[in-house]
Structure 1
Amino acid sequence: MGASRRSLLLGAAGAGLALPFAARAQSYRPEYKLSVVGNRPIPFADGAFRWAELVTERSGGRINVKVYPGSQLVGGDQTRELVAMRQGVIDFAVFSTINIAPQVREVGLFQLPFLMPSHRAFDALIRGDVGRDIFGVMERRDVVPLAWGENGFREISNSKRAIRTPDDLRGLKIRFAAGAIFTDIYNALGANPVQMSFADLQPALSTGAVDGQENPINLFLAFRMDTLAQKHLTVWNYVNDPLIFALSKSVWNSFTPADQQLVRECAEQAGRDEIALTRRGLGGEGTDDSAMVELRNRGVEVTVLSAAEKRAFAEKTKPVYDKWAATVGPDLVRKAETAIRAVAS
């Protein structure tokens, strides 16, 4: 065989070997869309931006992730994000477990009233068997969960009066984000629950269409709800809302194993940073109390319930807990209760 022909054949073979790698590199999209509720500066949204920035930076721009805050890819309706991901509208997301609970019944565990008394209890769930079980459920829905975050314990505020007993809630119109369990909780406490997107909440508070709302303190402060007639806030820690950093299975499968590991590590770091930001300033468990001080400096009357006062609310909502535990799954609920007892002892 002549040298020139041998060179041509080798060149063709080399090109053929290179084609799968070139094709794989070219299959990456110019942009990947990440959906999240709200916007900076709230920790929830900050975690999403942090994840996108880490992935884009560490991949050298090969995986270019752009954040679409305010759930704008689903018209502001955060309850549609999971469906939109499965339809290919959303590539990455930081989901609130409250918003996806209507589609994934197991994450409703975290909305069982007064299940988690502390951050230690919360951590025992997301970092243990319960968290792994729930990630397994998500994976069966064409979603790849990579890391946990935390939206925070949801406290209740209103424009009418301090809330210290269940009777204080009677007749108040309280906004909640999503999930029929919240209708049951507030009906059990004698309030009038109103489901409403976050985008509609601020105008509803300013006009008095609703009397109050329940959200983490960091969000209350960031959106200056004290200027929307929310002058009374009760710290009752009735539920906490974990976040799930996830992406669609089809997008995940399009990445090389090395890039999958990169995306996972970035999600885990963003999740750790987001949890620390969520807990900043709340006092106790190793943090300062700057957020509580800020509330009072803004003229908000802050009522912190004792353990005995919380029990009164827990007793009123026990039928709701039992009803929804059956929906979530008795085995998963028992596993969660056991994990919480272990860290409480």
Structure 2
Amino acid sequence: MKNILTVFVSVILVGVMVGCQSVGTVASNEKGNHNLKMSITVSESSTWYLGAEHFSKEVAEKTDGRIKIKLYANEQLSAGDPAKGVEMLLKGSTDLSYHSPIIYSVFEKRLGVITAPFLFKNLDEADEKMHGEGGEALKEILSENGIEPLGFGESGFRQVTNNVRPIRNPEDIEDLKVRIPGIKMYMDLWRELDADPTAMAFSEVFTGLQQGTIDGQENPIDVIKSSKLEEVQKYISIWNYSYDPLILGMNKEKFDSIHPDDQKIIKIAAENANKYQIKISREKEKQQMRELKASGMEFVYPTDDEIEVFRKASEKIYDNYESEWGSDLLDTFRK
């Protein structure tokens, strides 16, 4: 009888504990105060940061200050390492971030598809895919990986600079020592173009160009100008070889813990912030290109036919990476 009573009491206690846990879950889903941390890879003067600031202010305003988002520029929370920054978001050590899919592809190879070489000719083509089926497919992949996708900002098309010669065709790239992101796909691409690529840390690029350790590098216009590379680079080719959007992501577990009404506020604020960031980014790029020209950089604009030669020279990358990206996903962006 004593043993039966013990079991009965234990069952009651377990029930009470489960009941308490359920109540706790409900309580965490009530409107409340949240202090969130958001990481941005680049500096406070960047359009990335300005977009994040727009987002943070709108969320605070619409929630009467209940939800505060503190911004951390220059990967302060990850000791300057963007890959660590994405890892922290995935683990919930940070709550939100603006990161490039180039960095996400370290953890989820399928996300590398959006930066595939010569995927888009111009921003109109990129916009069509990112605002349509392609963007939705990327969001699904992010959700599968524990990230609540809050839309896309923009870093822009990546252009190439160098000190040796104007680049108009693959022959012009041969044997050039070019600094690239430390991602295998980029390394394979530049080797396919017969360049001599290196994955030098970006903090060392200016000195490397200045001393001739490397001949060139590739980045969006904003990075080129904000890093003052016009002081150590002569030629720039506007060839739009790799499109680099931004992912505004939130740790999904954290997002799901917030009241549905506040979730809606966050989503709307994110949409507004992304639109704002893209707008000012494109405006800033036009101004920066004028400033780079005024500084003496020689701008090279390969023709459509010349770009097509680069595109064909890059086809092997698609053959080699289709299995990683997924043929259906790749077709979504190429059709």
The answer on 1:119 being equivalent to 2:119 is no
Unmatched runs of 5 consecutive residues or more in structure 1: 1-18, 283-288, 339-345
Change (3 A) 1:148 1:26: closer
Tell me the equivalent position of 2:321: 324
CA offsets 1:5-61 (integer angstroms, 9 cap, x no match): xxxxxxxxxxxxxx99987679644x3211111113232333223222322333232
Q: Secondary structure at the match of 2:241?
A: coil
TM-score of the pair, normalised by structure 1: 0.84
* Contact residue 168 and residue 302 of structure 2 kept, 8 A: yes
Alpha-carbon distance in 1 for matches of 2:207, 2:75: 18
* Contact residue 76 and residue 199 of structure 1 kept, 8 A: no
The answer on 1:141 being equivalent to 2:145 is yes
Q: Secondary structure at the match of 1:64?
A: strand
Alpha-carbon distance in 2 for matches of 1:70, 1:308: 39
* Contact residue 28 and residue 257 of structure 2 kept, 8 A: no
User: In the TM superposition, what is the alpha-carbon distance from 1:192 to its structure 2 partner?
Assistant: 1.6
Letter in 1 for 2:244: D
Alpha-carbon distance in 1 for matches of 2:263, 2:284: 34
2:273 corresponds to which of 232, 248, 270: 270
2:312 corresponds to which of 311, 315, 320: 315
The answer on 1:258 being equivalent to 2:255 is no
Tell me the equivalent position of 1:6: none
User: In the TM superposition, what is the alpha-carbon distance from 1:291 to its structure 2 partner?
Assistant: 3.5
Alpha-carbon distance in 2 for matches of 1:206, 1:62: 49
Tell me the equivalent position of 2:238: 235
Alpha-carbon distance in 2 for matches of 1:27, 1:196: 45
Q: Secondary structure at the match of 1:150?
A: strand
The answer on 1:96 being equivalent to 2:100 is yes
Tell me the equivalent position of 1:280: 283
Q: CA RMSD in A?
A: 2.3
Alpha-carbon distance in 2 for matches of 1:23, 1:140: 23
* Mean CA deviation greater in 184-193 or 160-169: 160-169
Q: Secondary structure at the match of 1:280?
A: helix
CA offsets 1:180-199 (integer angstroms, 9 cap, x no match): 11001110111122224444
Unmatched runs of 5 consecutive residues or more in structure 2: 1-23
Tell me the equivalent position of 1:186: 190
The answer on 1:72 being equivalent to 2:81 is no
User: In the TM superposition, what is the alpha-carbon distance from 1:128 to its structure 2 partner?
Assistant: 0.9
Q: Secondary structure at the match of 2:70?
A: strand
Alpha-carbon distance in 1 for matches of 2:28, 2:334: 50
Q: Secondary structure at the match of 1:242?
A: strand
Alpha-carbon distance in 1 for matches of 2:58, 2:229: 31
Alpha-carbon distance in 1 for matches of 2:270, 2:234: 36
User: In the TM superposition, what is the alpha-carbon distance from 1:154 to its structure 2 partner?
Assistant: 0.5
* Contact residue 158 and residue 211 of structure 1 kept, 8 A: yes
Tell me the equivalent position of 2:160: 156
Change (3 A) 1:197 1:33: farther
Letter in 1 for 2:248: F
Letter in 1 for 2:282: R
CA offsets 1:152-180 (integer angstroms, 9 cap, x no match): 01000122222122122122221222321
Alpha-carbon distance in 2 for matches of 1:89, 1:23: 18
Q: Secondary structure at the match of 1:236?
A: strand
* Mean CA deviation greater in 309-318 or 145-154: 309-318
* Contact residue 110 and residue 240 of structure 1 kept, 8 A: yes
Give the length in aligned residue pairs.
313
Alpha-carbon distance in 2 for matches of 1:136, 1:199: 34
CA offsets 1:106-140 (integer angstroms, 9 cap, x no match): 22111221111111110121111111111011111
* Contact residue 37 and residue 95 of structure 2 kept, 8 A: yes
TM-score of the pair, normalised by structure 2: 0.86
* Contact residue 236 and residue 298 of structure 2 kept, 8 A: yes
Alpha-carbon distance in 2 for matches of 1:22, 1:113: 48
